[in-house]
């Protein structure tokens, strides 16, 4: 990212995730040049809920918008496409799952953004109607676990937004992971897999790999696992690809 470009910062895509909302509100008081900010789902933010009718981060590929979030997403698309860099800020309750996310093969821009914001993990996820899938080549989501909000504070994120385009350590290594599947609770119950043995970004044991029918030749990891919540999807399964730096990206 040699020159500073038109930047879009999005917060509040999920209304109960405060890091992006607080960042946008602070930036509005001192907006950097060539930067636009938006709280994507203000109705959900006011109610402090994830969404009002449908998950907005699954609403950008809907052909005929019907729900509140789908209609807002349809209007937001043109703004997203009008910017050179899109930064979508999220929180997660999943301990140990702070990471940057892209929905395409990572480019030097994706590596730069992850590096610049201080992330050491980059996950390639499927588009799934997400905001960053509108312009995957120039967009990244930042997932900040709630327990690290002090580390990735509003002041810290503001400084990173204001200094976009500055130099980074191009030799810094990022761990790269690729989405494989979402694992439902019923599957784990059927296979008698002990949830207490799961830790985000910790390699699955050989025993669990065998139960899931995965090859032990590769390294697989759970992410977005919340030990204290009983969600239908227990975790997202990712495969470790390797480490890369900006200078190693073609």
pLDDT digits (tens, 9 = 90+) for 104-151: 999 999 999 999 999 999 999 999 999 999 999 999 999 999 999 999
Q: List, for residues 40-93, the tens digit of each pLDDT value.
A: 999 999 999 999 999 999 999 999 999 999 999 999 999 999 999 999 999 999
Closest CA to 174 of 108, 225, 104, 103: 108
Say whether pLDDT at 1 is over 70.
no
HEC readout, 210-240: HHHCCCCCCCEEEECCCCCCCCCEEEEEEEE
Three-state secondary structure string covering 80-91? HHCCCEEEEEEE
pLDDT of amino acid 128 = 92
Cα–Cα separations (whole angstroms), residue 64 to 61, 68, 70, 131: 9, 12, 8, 16
Q: Per CATH, the architecture of 7-175 is what? A: 3-Layer(aba) Sandwich (3.40)
**221 close to 204: Cβ distance less than 8 angstroms:** yes
Put simply, whether the predicted model's pTM sits higher than 0.85 gets the answer yes
All structural domains of the chain with their residue ranges = 7-175, 178-240
pLDDT over 70, % of the chain: 98
The whole-angstrom separation of Cα 221 and Cα 205 is: 9
Q: For 29-40, what is each residue's pLDDT tens digit? A: 999 999 999 999
């Amino acid at each position: 990212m040699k020159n500073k470009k038109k930047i879009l910062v999005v917060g509040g895509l999920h209304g109960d995730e405060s890091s992006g909302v607080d960042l946008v509100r602070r930036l509005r008081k001192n907006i950097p040049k060539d930067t636009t900010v938006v709280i994507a789902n203000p109705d959900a933010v006011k109610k402090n809920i994830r969404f009002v009718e449908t998950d907005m981060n699954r609403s950008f590929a809907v052909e005929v918008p019907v729900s509140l979030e789908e209609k807002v997403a349809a209007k937001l698309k043109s703004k997203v496409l009008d910017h050179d860099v899109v930064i979508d800020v999220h929180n997660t309750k999943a301990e140990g799952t702070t990471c940057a996310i892209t929905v395409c093969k990572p480019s030097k821009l994706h590596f730069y953004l992850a590096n610049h914001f201080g992330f050491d993990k980059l996950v390639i996820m499927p588009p799934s109607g997400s905001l960053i899938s509108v312009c995957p080549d120039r967009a990244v989501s930042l997932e900040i676990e709630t327990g690290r909000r002090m580390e990735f504070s509003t002041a810290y994120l503001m400084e990173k937004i204001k200094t976009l385009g500055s130099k980074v350590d191009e030799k810094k290594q990022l761990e790269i992971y690729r989405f494989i599947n979402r694992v439902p609770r019923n599957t784990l119950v059927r296979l008698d897999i002990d949830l207490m043995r799961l830790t985000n970004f910790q390699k699955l044991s050989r025993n669990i790999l065998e139960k899931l029918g995965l090859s032990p030749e590769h390294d697989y990891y759970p992410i977005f696992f919340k030990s204290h919540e009983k969600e239908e999807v227990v975790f997202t399964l990712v495969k470790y690809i390797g480490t890369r730096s900006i200078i190693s990206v073609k």
